[in-house]
A and B are shown apart, each in its own frame.
Chain A
Amino acid sequence: MQNSSESKITSYQLLCILTGTAIGIGLMDLPNQVTEIAKQNGWVSVIIGGIYPLYIVYIADILQNKFPDENILQLSRKFLGKVFGNLLNLLFMFNFILYTTTVASGLTILLSTFIMYFMSPIKLLVFIVSLGAISSYSGLRPLANINELIFVFTIVVALIPLVALGRGKLLNVLPLFDSSVESLFKASVESCFSYGGIEIIFLFYPLVSDREKFKSYMLKGVLFLIILYSSLTFLTIYYCGIDLIKKSFWSILIATKSIEIPIINNFRFIFMFLWSIVNFKTISNSYFASVFILKDMFKKLSIKKLSVILFPFIVLMSSNYINEEARRTFLKFIVPKYTLFNIVFLTVICLIGLLKKDGLNEEK
């Protein structure tokens, strides 16, 4: 029977959590980031950037096969010692703190700019972060369920800008492939923030109940991300052209403006309403992941207590970059470094895992 108190999740739910943590505010300005370097071929860079999540899933699959009952936190402590392992876990946790704070502040800025101009951003920020804290307080199962629901919802919302397809110009995306390979790769690094968040897979893979489906679902999830991101980037370039993209902080929103519905003056408003629900879930996931790692270190404190304790810190940190320019500069500085750290950290754990003999015994 299906028991609600079980802390297990299905592979499909993990797929939803995985994509749910990645899809967030980063998508709104993804075309801006990539077209800056790769011009009209930015969407190709987004596809190239997809190598990162594919690599992450590849490592997760190896670890999942070899150590099905231990997550990355336990493995890092096991392989690298308690002190050093915990230190790296803490660094790994800051990944999620980074996502929580930047998505929360990013959403606050976006909303304050367009629809919430009547409220001071800091109040809005506190409210948005508190939603993340409440979700994290509820635990993994409700979060998995809400991710499942919002996954479908995201697909529907992401289909909305497709309407712009009929109004774009092919000239905007031409000439194809005239950017240098170097610039394509350089731009692909910029897309890492959008793909960031899928590292959450390393925390939850031991909780998956149907392990045989793990690999295929995770690959499907990553493919979904790559297709969604690249198609939306392509669409934005196709609709606005790279010169117009530069003029807006959140270029995808320009595409949504093309939709005209009677009664509603501005469809962008509806889109932002729907998109904020998607972002609440992104913040909740990263918040929960941070709490989950903290719980691993401070075993005596419960998830509920930690969710409350973390709240002021997240608010404090997010409020540091409540200015879009400052936020982007900070992200430009930190994201490549953190991506590098993730790749190295996860690769090292995976390599040690592969070399260790005792892992084989645990496989059966």
Chain B
Amino acid sequence: MDDFNMNDNIQKIVDGLGNTDTVIKRYFEIGSKLPVQAVLLYVDSLADRESINLNILKPLMLQVKGDLCLSADICDIICKKYITSSSTSVENDANKAIFAMKRGNTVLIIEQVDEFIVIDTKDGKYRQISEPLNEYSVRGSREGFVENLETNVSMIRRMVKHQDLTIENFTLGKYTQTDIKLMYVDSIADESVMEKIRDRLSSIDVDSITGAGIIEQYIEGHPYSLFPQCFATERPDIVINDLLEGRAAILCQGTPYALVVPALFIEFFQAVEDYYERSILSSMIRILRLLAVILVITLPAAYLSFIKFNSELIPVKFLLPLVSTRQGLLLTPLIEILCMEMIVEFLREGGLRLPGKIGQTLSLVGGFIIGDAALRAKLVSPATLVVVGTAVIGTFVIPNYDMSLSIRIARFPMIILADIFGIVGIAAGWYLILLHLFSMDTFGVQYLSLKKNDLKDIFIRGQLWNMDKRPESMPNKNKIRMGNSMKKFRGRH
């Protein structure tokens, strides 16, 4: 204990917090005859007033019988005997106290003591855990991430209880000072990959981080690529499966989804539902999904190439109705397809931004009325409408939103290539897409690699008891994820 001016400490904290309007200072006395002066500091609306009244002010002002002695361990005594809050700590550093206050904690300063008591009074007013809006699953859990970082971490912790689950903290953004958590399983994740992620995260030096989507763009290796390199998900069960394959999850305060890194190309086509369903059903869905991807990218381009250059390949029986519907059309095949694609994209984007009920009206007006009117006005042929419509429906089969957008955009260059080079343009387009995918890497891991052992979880979804090793394409410390017993059991029967 030394002769210390309480006001200096208060000033330090107020200076550190900047905005003085929102900082609440509550002076009070502890004890009756020779009371000790104390001050309570918190940021209005970040801290929970009820908790402050109940756990700090009430016990200290009303329940302290006799007087407190201004000794060196007075802070400890107050914490242990009087404050009924579940989490308290005593800090010497004013910066730590400021850091805690910005996150809703309350700081208690006692006269003549150069220490800060930090009391957990975070306001619990956040959106309740609810069903993930964009990643629905029939047989999976109904929990989705929310905006509160601690809640999100707790959802993962609740399901991964092993001591090797590691959480690293980062604070990013000069002004926003957003809390970020990097989670991985230490005994599985590859050290050099984690080092790269850590490096990238800590090298972010910007004014503000307002969401995980921004972090994603700062840390990805190929910003000009069409394909996403971080996997964003709002489902904790997906994150947990990924953590156990040696990946890391980045959680950001205020963002109701987690970023999984490094994300590999194949992962975007593996829905969590695939693992909850039985193998044969899931395999069927996987094959459908693959077909959908091929169709989305190729179908409009192939149709264009057929009607523009190689109409001799269309069977005669089909050619006649096709020709009759195309008679009197104003637009060239390319413009016709591009126009339809554009209208569908308008509808999709419009429907996404509008509230539910207006969205429905939009799809009704757009889909039925404009489609029908365009046909009658001879702007497009029915076959074009079918082709474009099929391709659009195909994009919804891709389980990940980011990837489905990327695949959707990939068909535009394909249409242009087909318009110039016909079917060879499509072959070249596919060749270039594959070359691009093979040349990419995310955090030192190859973005697309087809390893023999991983094939049973790519084109089909093999039996779970057969997937005894973690994916080879993802580097990890521990390759085995399953005991032998399941295979033995199958072997016997």
Q: Are chains A and B native binding partners rather than an unrelated pairing?
A: yes
Interface string of B448-469 (1 = CB under 8 A from A): 1110000000000000000000
Given contacts A127-B428, A149-B434, is CB(A269)–CB(B475) below 8 Å?
no
Q: Is the CB of B427 within 8 A of A263?
A: no
Which of A1, A128, A265 is close to B475, meaning CB atoms less than 8 Å apart?
Answer: A1
Report chain A residues within 8 Å CB of B472: 2
Which of B313, B448, B475 is close to A2, meaning CB atoms less than 8 Å apart?
Answer: B475
Residue of B whose beta carbon sits closest to that of A279: B427
Q: Is the CB of B435 within 8 A of A138?
A: yes
A171 interfacial contact with B, CB 8 Å = no
Q: Is the CB of B423 within 8 A of A273?
A: yes
Q: Which of B142-186 contact A (CB under 8 A)?
A: none
Q: Which of A275-308 contact B (CB under 8 A)?
A: 276-277, 280-281
Residue of B whose beta carbon sits closest to that of A280: B431
Interface string of B415-450 (1 = CB under 8 A from A): 000000111101110111011001101001111111
A236 interfacial contact with B, CB 8 Å = no
B24 interfacial contact with A, CB 8 Å = no
In the bound assembly, the distance between CA atoms of A338 and B190 in angstroms comes to 49
Q: Is the CB of A148 within 8 A of B450?
A: yes
Which of A131, A138, A139, A266 is close to B313, meaning CB atoms less than 8 Å apart?
Answer: A266
Which of A3, A142, A273 is close to B444, meaning CB atoms less than 8 Å apart?
Answer: A3
A interface: dominant SS: helix
Report chain B residues within 8 Å CB of A139: 439
In the bound assembly, the distance between CA atoms of A235 and B446 in angstroms comes to 40
Interface string of B79-100 (1 = CB under 8 A from A): 0000000000000000000000
Report chain B residues within 8 Å CB of A145: 438, 446, 448-450
Report chain B residues within 8 Å CB of A142: 435, 438-439
Q: Is the CB of A4 within 8 A of B446?
A: yes
Residue among B193, B432, B472 facing the most chain A CB atoms (10 A cut-off):
B432
A176 interfacial contact with B, CB 8 Å = no
Q: Is the CB of B421 within 8 A of A119?
A: yes
Given contacts A142-B435, A265-B314, is CB(A127)–CB(B421) below 8 Å?
yes
A344 interfacial contact with B, CB 8 Å = no
Given contacts A124-B424, A146-B438, A276-B424, is CB(A269)–CB(B313) below 8 Å?
yes
CB distance from B229 to the nearest CB of A (A): 12
Q: Is the CB of B314 within 8 A of A134?
A: no
Q: Is the CB of B450 within 8 A of A118?
A: no
A5 interfacial contact with B, CB 8 Å = yes
Q: Which of A295-338 contact B (CB under 8 A)?
A: none
Given contacts A135-B435, A146-B435, A149-B434, is CB(A5)–CB(B441) below 8 Å?
yes
Q: Is the CB of A265 within 8 A of B426?
A: no
Q: Is the CB of A141 within 8 A of B439?
A: yes
Given contacts A138-B435, A145-B449, is CB(A269)–CB(B428) below 8 Å?
no
In the bound assembly, the distance between CA atoms of A281 and B421 in angstroms comes to 18
Q: Is the CB of B190 within 8 A of A276?
A: no
Given contacts A149-B434, A277-B427, is CB(A116)–CB(B422) below 8 Å?
yes
Report chain A residues within 8 Å CB of B396: none
Q: Which of A21-44 contact B (CB under 8 A)?
A: none
Number of B residues near A (Cβ < 8 Å) is 36
B218 interfacial contact with A, CB 8 Å = no
Report chain A residues within 8 Å CB of B241: none
In the bound assembly, the distance between CA atoms of A273 and B427 in angstroms comes to 6
Residue of A whose beta carbon sits closest to that of B442: A4
Q: Is the CB of A266 within 8 A of B427?
A: no
In the bound assembly, the distance between CA atoms of A166 and B275 in angstroms comes to 43
A264 interfacial contact with B, CB 8 Å = yes
Interface string of B336-352 (1 = CB under 8 A from A): 00000000000000000
Report chain B residues within 8 Å CB of A138: 435, 438-439
Number of A residues near B (Cβ < 8 Å) is 35
Q: Is the CB of A265 within 8 A of B444?
A: no
Q: Is the CB of B421 within 8 A of A1?
A: no
Report chain A residues within 8 Å CB of B309: 115, 118
Which of A3, A115, A146, A281 is close to B423, meaning CB atoms less than 8 Å apart?
Answer: A115
B310 interfacial contact with A, CB 8 Å = yes
Q: Is the CB of A134 within 8 A of B441?
A: no
B192 interfacial contact with A, CB 8 Å = yes
A48 interfacial contact with B, CB 8 Å = no
In the bound assembly, the distance between CA atoms of A135 and B437 in angstroms comes to 12
Q: Is the CB of B422 within 8 A of A115?
A: yes
A122 interfacial contact with B, CB 8 Å = no
A59 interfacial contact with B, CB 8 Å = no
A62 interfacial contact with B, CB 8 Å = no
Report chain A residues within 8 Å CB of B355: none
Given contacts A1-B475, A139-B439, A277-B430, is CB(A265)–CB(B422) below 8 Å?
no
Q: Is the CB of B421 within 8 A of A264?
A: no
In the bound assembly, the distance between CA atoms of A179 and B94 in angstroms comes to 98
A158 interfacial contact with B, CB 8 Å = no
A227 interfacial contact with B, CB 8 Å = no
B315 interfacial contact with A, CB 8 Å = yes
Q: Is the CB of A111 within 8 A of B424?
A: yes
CB distance from A267 to the nearest CB of B (A): 10
Report chain B residues within 8 Å CB of A131: 428, 431-432
In the bound assembly, the distance between CA atoms of A115 and B418 in angstroms comes to 13
Q: Which of A241-260 contact B (CB under 8 A)?
A: none
Q: Is the CB of A134 within 8 A of B422?
A: no
In the bound assembly, the distance between CA atoms of A115 and B424 in angstroms comes to 9
Residue of A whose beta carbon sits closest to that of B449: A145
Report chain A residues within 8 Å CB of B449: 2, 145
Report chain B residues within 8 Å CB of A115: 309-310, 422-424
In the bound assembly, the distance between CA atoms of A142 and B450 in angstroms comes to 12
B312 interfacial contact with A, CB 8 Å = yes
CB distance from A220 to the nearest CB of B (A): 15
Q: Is the CB of B310 within 8 A of A1?
A: no
In the bound assembly, the distance between CA atoms of A271 and B438 in angstroms comes to 25
Report chain A residues within 8 Å CB of B431: 131, 146, 277, 280-281
CB distance from A120 to the nearest CB of B (A): 12
Residue of B whose beta carbon sits closest to that of A265: B313
Residue of B whose beta carbon sits closest to that of A12: B452
Report chain A residues within 8 Å CB of B476: 1
CB distance from A183 to the nearest CB of B (A): 38
Interface string of B461-493 (1 = CB under 8 A from A): 000000000001101100000000000000000
Report chain A residues within 8 Å CB of B444: 3-5
Q: Is the CB of B426 within 8 A of A149?
A: no
> Could you write out 9 A-B pairs with CB less than 8 Å apart?
A3-B444, A5-B444, A115-B422, A116-B424, A119-B422, A127-B424, A131-B431, A141-B438, A141-B439
Other A-B pairs, 5, CB within 8 Å; known A2-B445, A145-B448: A3-B444, A118-B309, A124-B424, A142-B438, A266-B312
Nearest 8 CB-CB pairings of A with B: A1-B475, A142-B439, A4-B441, A145-B438, A142-B438, A4-B446, A138-B439, A276-B427
